[in-house]
Amino acid sequence: MNRIRGISVVTGLCAVLAAGSARADGSPFVGRWHWNRAQSTLPPGGPVPNDLTSEISRADSHVKWSVTTLTRDLGTEAWHIETFEAAADGESHPISSDTAASCRVASDGLQTTLKGPDGQSDTQTCTLSADRKQMTCSGTLTGRDGETVKYVDVYDRM
């Protein structure tokens, strides 16, 4: 489940970008988002990034986003950049050699699911605050054994 949690922060971005299919380029989700560690609730035992910034650059029939993560291990800092692109049609699409994503706009928010190679999944729904300056993604991780863990990722607009 740790591997899928490693990409779960990215899941919210998939959902965010899916909004573009329903809302032209002026989508309130397009832009840069900073992960708010203090307001987020992580699953126990999962990896915790030291910093995370998401940039949503395309939100139309396809979605495109980049995630920049800072990690520190034994005093060494490392920046990791991942860029993903997928169709925003609610269908499952490969985003890497072993992970597929589906994104859909719902009446009350954005829904997304990531599926890993061994049956694990990460499903979440994201909503914007009334002033559109904060995005909250509530999710559930499901391990290959069927065990579930809930979490909340909060992002502030940059």
All structural domains of the chain, each given as residue ranges with its CATH number in brackets, are: 2-157 (2.40.128.20)
pLDDT at 61 over 80: no
Helix (H) or strand (E) holding 86: strand 76-87
Helix (H) or strand (E) holding 57: strand 51-59
d(CA 33, CA 54): 5
What is the mean pLDDT of the segment spanning 115-138?
A: 90
What is the mean pLDDT of the segment spanning 91-106?
A: 84
pLDDT value of position 151: 93
What is the mean pLDDT of the segment spanning 106-133?
A: 84
Which one, of 3, 8, 6, 2, lies nearest residue 122 by Cα?
8
pLDDT at 59 over 90: no
40 Cβ contact list (under 8 Å, min separation 6)? 151, 152, 153, 154
Which one, of 143, 140, 144, lies nearest residue 152 by Cα?
140
d(CA 18, CA 101): 11
**Lowest-confidence pick of 43-52, 55-64, 144-153:** 55-64
Global pTM reads: 0.77
